[in-house]
Amino acid sequence: MQSSSRSAAIFGILIALGLGALGVLLKQAIVEYKLLDRSVTVKGLAENEYSADIVIWPIQFTAANNNLDELYKQLEAQNNQVVNFLAEQNIDPKEITLAAPTITDKLAQQYGGNQPVELRYTASQTITVYSNDIDKVRGAMPKLTELGKMGIVFSQNNYDAQVEYIFSRLNDVKPKMIEESTTNARSVAEKFATDSQSRLGKIKKATQGQFSINNRDKNTPYIKQVRVVSTIEYYLAD
């Protein structure tokens, strides 16, 4: 009987010790989990300026005449003048595209009115330059007034006649800019860790923001401002 009581007591002590050890382990696991869960989320900005590498220059002009055949002849003559002008500026013929002209009959557009029309037909013609030589094309633009003095009426204020500059080398600069934004984010995270008397750990999660490409300002649309923001979450440890 005494032997059985002693065995039961020993068994009870062992269970108590086991439960105590389990409690310590669970407590330690909870503490370690909480430490592991500590983190800081920061944003890193990378912003650089690059020159555009493609220019699209629509040259749009108009003509008017009462005779449709004469109007087409007028357009053909002006087309030749513009193309010859571009050749004089050393612009490659392969970079020049002529669109079909748009003809408007003013009489056909009248609704119930008998107002006199001075010139029945009007035409709009667009010749587009698509080039990688930004400087050469920009140098030719101011000289277009020479053709204006010869009687060609240009429509430079129309939305579809605006010059467009494109930066197409984004994939070339992406790796460097992502590295820069990540470095900036880590600097911010390290400052936070130091201020909070912690140590910066490994990356817990990282998100790359979208790249944006904008004109540096309205006066220099051929210089592009490329920007990206990376969001990174770091572990913190004591």
| Same domain flag for 47 and 109 | no
Which amino acid does the sequence have at 64? A
One domain, residues 156 and 67: yes
117, 58: one domain:
yes
Cβ atoms within 10 Å of 131's Cβ, excluding its own = 19
Domain ranges, residue 204: 39-53+167-238
Reported as type and span, the H/E element at residue 76 is: helix 68-88
Are residue 66 and residue 118 in the same domain, yes or no?
yes
Q: Do residue 143 and residue 92 come from a single domain?
A: yes
Tokens standing for 26? Answer: 């669970």
CATH number, domain containing residue 114: 3.30.70
Task: Please indicate, yes or no, whether residues 161 and 63 belong to a single structural domain of this protein.
Answer: yes
Q: What percent of the chain has pLDDT over 90?
A: 59
Residues 136 and 113 in one domain: yes
Phi, psi angles (nearest 5°) of residue 154: -95, 145
Both structure tokens of 68: 């449709």
Closest CA to 65 of 103, 112, 114, 113: 103
What residue has token string 């003809």?
103
What is the value of pTM for the model shown? Answer: 0.77
Radius of gyration of the chain (CA): 37
What is the percent of the chain with per-residue pLDDT over 70, rounded to a whole number? Answer: 81
Tens digit of each residue's pLDDT (9 = 90 or more) over 188-209: 999 988 988 888 888 888 888 8
One domain, residues 158 and 79: yes
